Chain A
Amino acid sequence: MTTMKRSERIEVFARTARTRSENFPADTGVLGRLRAAGRAAFSAAELPNPKTEAWKYSRIGPLLEQGLLDRAPAGAAATARPIPGLDVQSIAILDGIPQPLPTFTPGVSVTSFAALSGAEAAAVETHLGRLAAVSERPFVALNAALLEDGLLIQVAPGVDVALPIELLLAQSDGAAPRGVHPRVLVIVGQGARATLIERHLGAAMAFTNSVVEVVLADGAQLDHLRLALDAGRGRWLSALDVELGRAARYHLWQAQLGAAFRRNEIRIRLAGEGAEVTVSGAGLTRNNAHLDNQLCLEHRVPRGTSTQVFRNIAGETSRGILNGRIHIHRGAQKTDAQLHTKSLLLSSRAEIDVKPELEIYADDVKCAHGATLGQLDANALFYLRSRGLDETAARTLLSFAFLAEVVDGFPVDAVREALRPALAQAFAAPAEEDAP
């Protein structure tokens, strides 16, 4: 496998994907049409190469390994550990396939694409693939081309859903390599409010290529928590495309540990006046993990506000990447957009790459970004050591505090409580021997 040249591996990957897509039975429904569009777009697209600007710091090598496009064997099971003390209504997509659905609190409806009817079918028809268009990113096209099923999550207008909705994107246990392409469409109705907890549960040789589209109607609010705490497991490529209507609010919270490959492509579009977005991200990579966050915030209309805060730590030979782009369209006056990121390098063989971008076409705006890269405060370290902590404990404590600036802001108590031990454990884990 390793003897194959990169171009050959890409060729094999693309050919396998096309063949797999062509094997789907002909279907003129909404899924069939999306698959056809995805297949055409994927065939026409060029897979990212080292010169592709958007992929400057991520190589797709880990995604090209043999078997990562295979279907998962049927009947497999996953071990999903619930978050202690968290009361949720839970939905699972296992190996790309929606699992049997429980009953939901009033105002929440969840339907698999295979079982759509009436208004739901119309909603999917309108929105599926609209935000995450197949023409722009080859892996979004691949998701469409290999789409088996997906979920529509709807919150009815005006409903305030108190019980968080948990969305598990999980891989079955087992060592067989496979690729899955989960797809979710979330529609929050006018003035409705909900909390979505998206958890990524991985398996070592699984490639997950997920696409989540979120549509927020006027005045809607969604608190979206994304947790990826299975360190080092799996290869993840997650597209998240969000659109906000007038005065809608979208709050995204991410806590992530690195994986063999983990890349998030997040695009948030403020399409209605007075919309508000906050993004908070905490990332920790260790050993040879890879974590790449690509964000694009598009202010398309006036009077939007957006605030983004990131904390990233990279240890051993890992790599942490953040590309935060703020795009203010012509006419989007009175926009207030901020991005602040701080990063810590723990090892001289780790690497952090940060690229906060501004693209501004309106003059009456307030836009700023700040990025710092640094090390733990020597005075703080000295203080802790003078209190009897050894070097490692002191460093761990300070690194933890660094992430806590973001983590402590997470909105759901049980999640916050669960994050502390998860992160502490990730810090405490011994460094692995270098992979050859």
Chain B
Amino acid sequence: MSKNLGQLDRMVHGAYEAGWTTDIESDTLAPGLNEDTVRFISARKQEPEWLLQWRLKAFRHWQTMVHPEWAHVHYPPIDYQSISYYSAPRRPGEGPQSLDEVDPELLRTYEKLGIPLHERAALAGVAVDAVFDSVSVVTTFKDKLAEAGVIFCPISEAVREHPELIRKYLGSVVPFRDNFFAGLNSAVFSDGSFVYVPKGVRCPMELSTYFRINARNTGQFERTLIVADEGSHVSYLEGCTAPQRDENQLHAAVVELIALKGAEIKYSTVQNWYPGDAEGRGGIYNFVTKRGIAHENAKISWTQVETGSAITWKYPSVILQGDNAVGEFYSVALTRGMQQADTGTKMVHVGRNTRSTIVSKGISAMRAENSYRGLVHIGAGAENARNHTQCDSLLIGDRCGAHTFPYIESRNPSATVEHEATTSKVGDDQLFLCRQRGLDPEKAVSMIVNGFCKQVFRELPMEFAVEAGKLLEVSLEGAVG
């Protein structure tokens, strides 16, 4: 075991250096999408032939697919030829060897976003693999992770350094045929994170990636792959922010989680991309495919707080493949202004004694539309499977919408599925009580909403929970009154 760890250690370090020398000269690719675009991206990343072929296969298949229309969201057609599919920060000379060498401009932007990278990483014990415009800029806490044998690196680096793992798992949970956006992502994915936690290892710290979209007209196509080997445990945090911008930006990420026998993966997201202005202009289009596969006795838990983006189209799902596997989905989705969210989860029960829990809280204010869309599927072999789903919606104002579209399919007579959904508003009596105690209406609403979301927030790692609460408060500004 220790020998293995040593090898991994070396691999991790080696990969790090190699990772930087290749991407530096890259520049933003002119808008447009064809096979040459795919070849360009692959070449820039010095990818092996098999990966290029995989991308091309994905691209050819994607061309035959039709844009999905079923979600309860409305937006003008996207011109995929007007998007630039590759962009990397331009820097002269050698790549940064340490934080000091990172472009101070980038670091300042992070600070503006409230992410004091090194401080935060040091204080919170969080290793940050920051993705800035598609290419990883800095990774910290390598040593500590390497000691445990954990691989945490940009996926482009993992392709070169751990091809056997990438080849085995990439596309194994979300194949490129899965859906339109997953197909697109498979063809042109820019970068993302790769995590491998070896057998029996409990990852010594929470892993965190901060995504940002910066350059104009640049679609971002993250690809995240997390493999938790037998009996391991990892908690992964993903947070997103973006500066104001005029044009709609496309973001089509794919996240694949593999929890092998007895492993546990906890994946938390706080998403706060630019939602567009009061009239709904601008704002990010967030079309994400997230799915995990839980083998025997494994557990996958998704927690998400979605407050940003003009459009959110996202269904973090779990395939409960092995016996006794557990899947969880905790979600808060807040939409305001002209935001539209169609989000939920799929729990596909295959193994025996599989259990899943879904808690979804949707908050809709002003002229926003918020939909929960979920699937609970109990396969014929899922003896004694169990699901409990709770979807609550809160409406603030009479111009918004809150919707629930749950699909429940069962083929096993021993399974138990429970689904409940409620819709309510911030009660006048609740508001009155708070105001009587001296709280202004905005504070009062924010407090009530926080209470409404508590069930989900307590699933978040502590610092994320604080951030999420703050986010809601900021997002609700001006939504009440």
Contact = CB atoms under 8 A, between A and B. Distances in A.
Interface of A: 53, 330-331, 333, 343-375
Interface of B: 70, 378, 380, 393, 395-425
B411 A369 contact: no
B398 A333 contact: yes
A196 to B, nearest CB: 32
Contacts of B416: 372-375
A380 to B, nearest CB: 15
Given A358-B421, A364-B425, A368-B420, A375 B409 contact: no
20 contacts: A333-B398, A345-B412, A346-B413, A348-B412, A351-B410, A355-B407, A356-B406, A358-B402, A358-B403, A358-B404, A358-B423, A360-B402, A364-B398, A367-B422, A368-B423, A370-B421, A371-B417, A373-B415, A373-B416, A375-B415
B374 to A, nearest CB: 10
Nearest to B405: A357
B412 A353 contact: no
Given A349-B380, A366-B424, A373 B417 contact: yes
Given A363-B397, A366-B424, A373-B378, 18 more contacts: A345-B413, A345-B415, A348-B411, A351-B410, A353-B409, A356-B419, A357-B404, A357-B405, A359-B401, A360-B402, A361-B400, A362-B395, A363-B400, A365-B395, A367-B421, A368-B420, A371-B420, A373-B418
B376 to A, nearest CB: 9
B293 to A, nearest CB: 23
B23 to A, nearest CB: 41
Nearest to B425: A363
B423 A366 contact: yes
A258 B425 CA distance: 40
B405 A350 contact: no
Contacts of B424: 366
Contacts of A374: 415-417
Contacts of B417: 371-374
A361 B423 contact: no
User: Interface centre among B70, B393, B408, by most A CB within 10 Å?
Assistant: B408
A388 to B, nearest CB: 25
Contacts of B380: 348-349
A347 B380 CA distance: 10
B408 A373 contact: yes
A347 B419 CA distance: 21
Nearest to A357: B405
Nearest to A356: B406
A363 B403 contact: no
A70 to B, nearest CB: 36
A366 B395 CA distance: 11
Given A352-B410, A375-B416, A369 B404 contact: yes
B403 A359 contact: yes
A154 B413 CA distance: 46
B412 A368 contact: no
A370 B398 contact: no
Contacts of A365: 395, 423, 425
B400 A354 contact: no
Contacts of B378: 373
A331 B399 CA distance: 9
B399 A367 contact: no
Contacts of A345: 410-413, 415
Contacts of A349: 380, 411
6 A-B pairs with the lowest CB-CB distances in the bound complex, closest first: A363-B395, A373-B417, A345-B413, A367-B423, A358-B404, A371-B419
B421 A361 contact: no
Contacts of B70: 53
A366 B403 CA distance: 13
Contacts of B422: 367-368
Nearest to B421: A369
B398 A353 contact: no
Contacts of A375: 413-416
Q: Which of B404, B415, B418, B423 has the most chain A CB atoms inside 10 A of its CB?
A: B423
A306 to B, nearest CB: 14
B395 A372 contact: no
Nearest to A331: B398
Contacts of B401: 359-361
Contact of B395 (A53, A357, A359, A360): A360
Contact of B413 (A347, A369, A372): A347
Contacts of B406: 355-357, 371
A52 to B, nearest CB: 11
Nearest to A370: B420
Contacts of B421: 356, 358, 367-370
Contacts of B407: 353, 355
A369 B398 contact: no
B410 A370 contact: no
Nearest to B417: A373
Given A358-B421, A358-B423, A366-B424, A373 B404 contact: no
A396 B463 CA distance: 55
B403 A372 contact: no
Nearest to B72: A359
Contact of B418 (A333, A347, A366, A372): A372
Contacts of B418: 370-373
A58 to B, nearest CB: 13
Nearest to A321: B409
Nearest to B395: A363
A220 B123 CA distance: 70
Nearest to B403: A359
Given A368-B421, A369-B421, A372-B419, A351 B411 contact: yes
Contact of B405 (A353, A355, A370): A355
Contacts of A356: 404, 406, 419, 421
Nearest to B402: A360
Contacts of A343: 410
B56 to A, nearest CB: 27
Nearest to A362: B398
Contacts of A359: 401, 403
Nearest to A337: B423
Nearest to B376: A373
Nearest to B401: A361
A241 to B, nearest CB: 23
Contacts of B419: 354, 356, 369-372
A359 B342 CA distance: 12
B355 to A, nearest CB: 14
A346 B423 CA distance: 33
A353 B408 contact: yes
Contacts of A351: 409-411
A367 B421 CA distance: 8
Taking each of A357, A363, A369, which has the highest tally of chain B beta carbons within 10 Å of its own beta carbon?
Answer: A363
Nearest to A319: B411
A348 B404 contact: no
Of B407, B410, B418, chain A has the most CB atoms within 10 Å of the CB of B410
A330 B405 contact: no
Nearest to B415: A373
A78 B17 CA distance: 86
Contacts of A370: 418-421
A316 B415 CA distance: 16
Contacts of B412: 345, 348
A375 B412 CA distance: 9
Contacts of A358: 393, 402-404, 421, 423
A351 B408 CA distance: 10
A57 to B, nearest CB: 8
Contacts of B403: 357-360
A48 to B, nearest CB: 15
